[in-house]
Chain A
Amino acid sequence: MSKTILFKRPDALTDRELTYCPGCHHGIVHRIVAEVIDELGIRDETVNIAPVGCSVFANDFFDTHGIGAAHGRAPAVATGVKRARPDSIVFTYQGDGDLAAIGTAEIVHAANRGERITTIFINNAIYGMTGGQMAPTSLLGMKTTTSPYGRDARREGYPLHVSELLKETAGIAYLERVAVSSPQEVIKAKKAIKKAFLAQINDIGFGMVEVLSTCPTNWGLDPVESISYLNDKLKKEYPLGLFVDKVGDMK
């Protein structure tokens, strides 16, 4: 009897059980990143750089070489790998606390240098791993454990739009903000991630995809409510869209 495999785990993912909460979008993004690595056939030369935050275990989930970076420093670590081994494919996987707060200097300068690396930026507007504290990306009025009365612009400033800031840097070759809360969005996100890798592979420049994601645990919502919150609130503050595409048509 012959069997036909219709669906399987991507080769670029290990068989480790994911540590993410039910309804969290990290798992979806991990899967599509791994599918892109499989499709591009780059597993052996890829190095993933894990951040500090919920995806601190990403090294264990991606079946590629990996490095655990200090909080916010993944783009600098990735730069070191790429400069030492220009034939490698390097990507960072960072949350909004990691990338948009403590790591702003590293991401801005890696992008501006046109560093031949790729960044997957998970924006769920909150700190997950440490237990739901305010992020620079938290929405105005959003209640978190460190903004218990709601984020107040006068006190805590405004939601930081990282992609809108980065799009002005000349070193960026690909930049798009996507979501993964519907099958159509997942397909679109995967195309964007592939292009962000191609920006590196084709020696064009720095590639980044910002993925709006849920955090049911720290938002205090169930998975379905979280998707509504993402669609109604997050997308309003952070509209989806393509900012930079120097990659062109994918072949």
Chain B
Amino acid sequence: MAEKVMVKGNEAMGEAAVRSGCRLYFGYPITPQSEFTEYMARRLPEVNGTFLQSESEVSAVNMIYGAAATGTRVMTSTSSPGFSLMQEGVSYIAGAELPCVFVNVVRGGPGLGDIQPAQSDYFQATKGGGHGDYHMIVLAPGTIQESVDLIKKGFDLADKYRNPVMILTDGMLGQMMEPVEFPEFVEPDDLPTHSDWALKNAEGENARIVRAFNIDPVELEELNIAYQKKYRKITENEIIYKEYFMDDAEYMFVGYGTMGRILISVIKEAREQGIKIGLFRPISLWPFPYKELKKASEGKKAIIDIEMSEGQMIEDVKLAIEDSSRIHFYGRSGGIIPEPNEILDVMNKIIGGDNNV
């Protein structure tokens, strides 16, 4: 086993990408993820990789589109306004069914917003964002170790399903330091070659076309049906979530990413006060663990969803649990992170029957 090292979240994810065999990075600087871009600029040349700073996020995503069409592992990292600019390209990448990984270190919005951590890009990440009926696989880590593990997992899922993957994290996890154990190196030569579709040397064989374009509505619908079939397969096989303190829980929090880890502190405090509350933390935000969340919610007196947004994942929580009378929401936005005591107060009010939370 490798030893643990203290690393900043953004740099840890960069190293994890290199160890996952990624040798291509196209990106554009933006706070609070610029350390990621800088890390790749100095790290990739050490492993004969290629780093290119693009003229915009619009160009970065299209460079990724071209590189991914050759079947080469490729990625970028960005933050909220930057990912908004990438939406067009993500739609093309999803339509052309190309594997690649995006890391979104989310900051407060809308607009230029600020540079503090937020979870207000949940809708954009999980509900499409760009045009057309498509989905990215969206994975939300709660620790830096998990960020590292999900980068590797993200590349593997992207290859397995020929689908773009997003690691949805935030400025807190990007900027903080934690001890991390890195995975072993995967050599690019050992990665899937995608020889059945990628644009390698044609060697006299038929030419291949990679695109998200079909002028015939009948054929385009068939393509869409095929995408949906793939999305169902992903939904059946790739749900990830974690439960904490659920064995005897009478109440339940729901929270993802940074919020999930804060809720664990809240729960420890609540249990000292004698309140039996647990946590359901979705890790795959798309596909969302609807069935698993519904099952976890059975018999719970109250389900409290806490987000660093004005309420986005809450819509999926309601879709999952259906019985909205038991579901409560509390969120802070604009880059404000709810504090444990603040959440304890909210929890106590809800448990006490105060519906004005």
Contacts and interface: CB of A to CB of B under 8 A. Distances in A.
Interface of A: 14, 43-45, 47, 49-50, 56, 59-60, 62-70, 73, 76-85, 87-88, 105-106, 108-109
Contact of B207 (A56, A63, A85): A63
Given A59-B209, A83-B67, 10 more contacts: A44-B202, A44-B203, A63-B207, A66-B209, A69-B62, A70-B62, A77-B63, A81-B66, A83-B52, A105-B56
A131 B55 CA distance: 31
Contacts of B208: 65-66
Contacts of A81: 66-67, 69-70, 199
A84 B55 CA distance: 18
A60 B209 contact: yes
A105 B208 CA distance: 28
A77 B201 contact: no
Contacts of A106: 55, 58-59, 62
Contacts of B200: 85
Nearest to A73: B62
Contacts of A105: 55-56, 58-59
Q: Which of B62, B68, B96, B204 has the most CB of A within 10 A?
A: B62
26 contacts: A43-B202, A45-B201, A49-B66, A50-B211, A66-B208, A66-B210, A66-B211, A67-B96, A67-B211, A69-B62, A73-B89, A76-B58, A76-B59, A76-B65, A77-B65, A79-B52, A80-B26, A81-B67, A83-B26, A83-B52, A85-B72, A88-B199, A88-B201, A105-B56, A105-B58, A109-B54
Contact of B62 (A50, A77, A84, A108): A77
Contact of B59 (A59, A62, A68, A73): A73
Contacts of A80: 26, 62-69, 74
Nearest to B26: A80
Nearest to A117: B66
Interface of B: 24, 26, 50, 52, 54-56, 58-60, 62-70, 72, 74, 88-89, 92, 96, 199-204, 207-213
Nearest to B71: A84
A64 B96 CA distance: 18
B255 to A, nearest CB: 36
Contacts of A78: 66
Nearest to A113: B52
B70 A70 contact: no
B211 A68 contact: yes
Nearest to B60: A76
